[in-house]
């Protein structure tokens, strides 16, 4: 649906909404006044929608420079009494963990919801940490929706719960909550308080050790209330499927949906304890459930978070109930669940035979299709130029720290230029460590948004501590991988106010770095020359490779209707295959007779292949 429909949808309308869309609607109905984020899959659409509708909704929204700053921006607005949200992917909460931990001590005045989106199976992530443990170490209460409808309800209700306890709440989603669609009936858009006021009160807001000790006591008191809230929360409920069930399932999040569907499809009889407020847990409710079941299976994705709590309760109450989950190997701690995993576990748990109706087809070797850099992608051109420059400089053993963004796809051949990766902004710091440890040539790649996010600190470190490597800032003028969000390098309209761009070149020069060169990677020769110059120097050098993301420029071109397509002159083509094997734009294809062609539907018209063709056989074929 269109972002505007999320704001303008009327009470009683039924929409087929994405989990992230439901989160925005729920927040708006709950009186959202203030929001901040750094984009990250699977949470990104929340920000994309707010970017479009915050202004007409009268809500403040910003894409902050990183998750830590977003947390600080939103937490302090909430301290001023405004209902606020901050949202990020699971690894983003690591970045924001420092302010988050303490915001639980200071507490909040306006409802404050911290949405964290986990990515079991790592569809778009570097790890699959279970962020529910952040509720444990911070002591923030936590809500865990199972589907878009519940996400919508929890956002709406969450503000009230947060204000009641004066504590921030974690709202933990996963990919299969954030990125599933289901039918949600909209409610009334509430009134909202948009003007905050800050009441000075140092013992409440300033956690110097003397005050922090009292704050921790106060937090423990609030947690007693939070536990009572959990015992009576409608998000924690018992239900039954089938006849006279004696065996129980305790479940949360999207795993619950698989349990329900499998039980229905296979006519199973189960008592189900479905938990939605999962910190603090409703211990009395769980104890009662355990007393009434002979056996209990815990169905939760990733870590045995519920299971370990349930085992503690069983032990404390000396209950003789057979508990199964991750610790006995029924389920794995890895990867997201699906109906098959849950079906097999449930059938085994209930001692029923496994079923399989999958058809047998002749196995065929299918070509792998990993995600690749797009046709016209400026990163491919930069990687190509770096490769040529290394060859010309006779450097064979260079090492390439990479970072988080589309350019990580440079790991694929023929670029093969991603050797080490940790997290957002890491390539500047890892460039330091690898170059110092090995003494080898190191080229560290980082995107523009990632550079602002946290790379800049690593680059300052590299300068100050005399590290020697080449940092390449791949400035494609957007935050591409997560869906083209703006970043501080761009001038853009935010909430109706034009935001001034930060000049990367000026910023890097201000650090004191001597060799700073900005190139256009679509000019192959100039880019190769810059790389050769930088590689001939000792110390720290920076190349800013600037060219707008091809997807963004294609969108602009589509509007103007003008398009250039390249083709291959078959009579002069020597079939050297440099274009196919060394540049490898997805628009190229080889016919069975060995001739190379360009797929006109895919060609972006970037001209880079025409510049690198040794026989100059690639030229403009068509202007549309």
| For another protein, the closer CB: 214 or 581 | 581
Residues that bind another protein (CB under 8 A): 1, 14-16, 18, 41-42, 44-45, 123-124, 147, 176, 179-183, 254, 256-258, 260-262, 264-265, 338-340, 343, 356-362, 364-374, 406, 409, 412-414, 481-483, 577, 580-581, 584, 586, 588-590, 601
Most distant CA atoms of the chain, gap in Å: 85
Tell me whether residue 289 or residue 583 sits nearer to another protein (CB atom).
Answer: 583
**From the CB of 375, what's the least distance to another protein, in Å?**
9
Exposed, middle or buried by CB within 10 Å (0-12, 13-18, 19+), for 479? buried
How far, in Å, CA of 556 to CA of 558, rounded? 5
DSSP sequence for 546-611 = E---HHHHHHHHHHHT--EEEEE-TTT-----IIIIII--TTEEE-TTS-EEE-TTT-----HHHH
Distance of closest approach, residue 512 Cβ to another protein, in angstroms: 36
CB of 417 to another protein, least distance (A): 15
CB of 35 to another protein, least distance (A): 20
Closest distance between another protein and the C-beta of residue 473, in Å? 21
Please state, in angstroms and rounded to a whole number, the distance separating the CA atoms of residues 528 and 524.
Answer: 6
Contact (Cβ atoms closer than 8 angstroms) between residue 184 and residue 193: no
Closer to another protein by Cβ: residue 284 or 590: 590
Number of Cβ within 10 Å of residue 548's Cβ equals: 16
Q: How far is the CB of 356 from another protein (least distance, A)?
A: 7
Q: Which of 3, 23, 211 is nearest to 107 (CA)?
A: 211
- Give the nearest distance from C-beta 307 to another protein in angstroms: 21
Return the number of the residue (356 or 560) whose C-beta is nearest another protein.
356
Q: Cβ of residue 28: shortest distance to another protein, in angstroms?
A: 21
Other CB atoms within 10 A of residue 591 CB: 8
Structural contact between residues 442 and 398, judged by C-beta atoms closer than 8 angstroms: yes
For 251, the enclosing helix (H) or strand (E) is: strand 247-252
Burial of 23 (0-12, 13-18, 19+ CB in 10 A): buried
Residue whose C-alpha is closest to residue 181's, from 65, 7, 15: 15
85: nearest Cα among 74, 98, 97, 101: 74
Closest by alpha carbon to 476, among 417, 550, 541?
550
Give the shortest CB-141-to-another protein separation in angstroms.
Answer: 25
Q: Give me the helix-helix angle, 456-464 and 504-511, nearest 10°.
A: 30
Q: How far is the CB of 409 from another protein (least distance, A)?
A: 6
224's CB contacts (< 8 A; 6+ apart) are none
For another protein, the closer CB: 381 or 584: 584
Angle ∠(168,172,173) on CA atoms, nearest 5 = 145
Nearer to another protein, 44 or 541 (CB): 44
Nearer residue to another protein within complex by CB, 241 or 321: 241
Q: Which is nearer to another protein, 263 or 389 (CB)?
A: 263
Q: Which is nearer to another protein, 367 or 506 (CB)?
A: 367
Q: What is the C-alpha separation between 28 and 191, in angstroms, rounded? A: 9
Cα angle: 622, vertex 620, 526; to 5 degrees: 145
Measured from the CB atom, the residue of 264 and 493 that comes closer to another protein is 264
Specify the residue, 44 or 173, whose C-beta has the smaller distance to another protein: 44
Q: How far is the CB of 52 from another protein (least distance, A)?
A: 16
Quick one: tokens of 480?
């591409």
Report in angstroms how near the CB of residue 258 gets to another protein at its nearest: 5
Per-position b or e across 212-225, b if 16+ CB within 10 A of its CB: eeebeebbeebbee
Residue number, 255 or 540, with CB nearest to another protein: 255
Q: Which is nearer to another protein, 93 or 262 (CB)?
A: 262
SS3 assignment, position 6: helix
Identify whether the C-beta of residue 450 lies closer than 8 Å to the C-beta of residue 438.
no
Nearer to another protein among residue 98 and residue 239 (C-beta):
239
Measured from the CB atom, the residue of 513 and 578 that comes closer to another protein is 578
Q: Find the shortest distance in angstroms from Cβ 425 to another protein.
A: 18
The least distance separating another protein from the CB of residue 494, rounded to whole angstroms, comes to 23
CB of 257 to another protein, least distance (A): 4
Q: Are 165 and 78 in contact (CB under 8 A)?
A: no
Structure tokens at 277: 């407020």
CA-closest candidate to residue 402, choices 461, 438, 459, 447:
447
């Amino acid at each position: 649906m269109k972002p505007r429909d999320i704001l303008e949808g009327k009470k009683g309308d039924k929409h087929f909404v994405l989990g992230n869309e439901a989160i925005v609607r729920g927040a708006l109905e709950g009186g959202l006044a203030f929001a901040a984020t750094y984009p990250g899959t699977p949470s990104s659409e929340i920000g994309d929608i707010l970017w479009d509708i915050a202004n007409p909704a009268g809500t403040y929204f910003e894409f902050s420079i990183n998750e830590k700053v977003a947390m600080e921006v939103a937490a302090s607005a909430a301290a001023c009494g405004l209902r606020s949200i901050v949202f990020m992917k699971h690894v983003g909460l690591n970045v924001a963990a420092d302010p988050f931990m303490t915001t639980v001590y200071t507490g909040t005045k306006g409802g404050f919801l911290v949405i964290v989106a986990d990515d079991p199976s790592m569809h778009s992530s570097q790890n699959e940490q279970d962020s529910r443990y952040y509720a444990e170490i911070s002591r923030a209460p936590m809500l865990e929706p199972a589907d878009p409808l519940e996400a919508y309800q929890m956002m709406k209700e969450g503000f009230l719960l947060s204000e009641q306890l004066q504590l921030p709440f974690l709202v933990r989603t996963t990919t299969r909550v954030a990125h599933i669609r289901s039918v949600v009936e909209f409610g009334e858009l509430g009134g909202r308080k948009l003007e905050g006021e800050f009441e000075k009160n140092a013992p409440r807001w300033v956690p110097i050790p003397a005050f922090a000790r009292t704050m921790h006591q106060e937090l423990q008191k609030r947690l007693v209330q939070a536990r009572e809230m959990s015992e009576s929360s409608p998000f924690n409920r018992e239900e039954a499927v089938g006849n006279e069930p004696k065996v129980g399932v305790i479940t949360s999040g999207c795993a619950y949906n698989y349990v329900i569907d499998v039980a229905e499809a296979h006519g199973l009889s189960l008592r189900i304890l479905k938990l939605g407020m999962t910190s603090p847990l409703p211990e009395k409710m769980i104890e009662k459930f355990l007393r009434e079941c002979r056996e209990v299976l815990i169905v939760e994705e990733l870590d045995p978070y519920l299971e370990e709590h349930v085992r503690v309760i069983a032990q404390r109450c000396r209950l003789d109930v057979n508990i199964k989950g991750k610790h006995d190997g029924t389920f794995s701690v890895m990867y997201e669940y699906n109906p098959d995993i849950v079906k097999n576990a449930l059938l085994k748990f209930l001692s029923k035979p496994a079923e399989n109706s999958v058809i047998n087809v002749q196995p065929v070797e299918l070509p792998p299709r990993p995600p690749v850099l797009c046709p016209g992608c400026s990163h491919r051109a930069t990687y190509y130029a770096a490769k040529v420059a290394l060859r010309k400089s006779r450097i064979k053993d260079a090492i390439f720290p990479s970072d988080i963004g589309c350019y990580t796809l440079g790991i694929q051949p023929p670029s093969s230029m991603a050797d080490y990766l940790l997290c957002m902004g890491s390539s500047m710091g890892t460039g330091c460590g690898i170059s110092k440890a090995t003494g080898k040539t190191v080229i560290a790649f980082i995107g523009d948004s990632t550079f602002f996010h946290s790379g800049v600190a690593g680059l300052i470190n590299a300068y100050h501590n005399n590290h020697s490597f080449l940092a390449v800032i791949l400035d494609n003028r957007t935050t591409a991988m997560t869906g083209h969000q703006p970043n501080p390098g761009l001038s853009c309209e935010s909430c109706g106010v034009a935001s001034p761009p930060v000049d990367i070149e000026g910023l890097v020069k201000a650090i004191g770095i001597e060799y700073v060169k900005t190139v256009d990677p679509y000019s192959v020769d100039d880019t190769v020359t810059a790389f050769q110059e930088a590689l001939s120097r000792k110390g720290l050098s920076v190349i800013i490779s600037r060219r707008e993301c091809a997807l963004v420029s294609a969108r602009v071109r589509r509007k103007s209707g003008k398009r250039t397509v390249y083709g291959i002159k078959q009579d002069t083509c020597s079939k050297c295959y440099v274009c196919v094997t060394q540049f490898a734009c997805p628009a190229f294809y080889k016919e069975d007779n060995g001739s190379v062609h360009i797929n006109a539907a895919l060609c972006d018209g970037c001209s880079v292949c025409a510049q690198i063709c040794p026989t100059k056989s690639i030229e403009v074929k068509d202007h549309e």
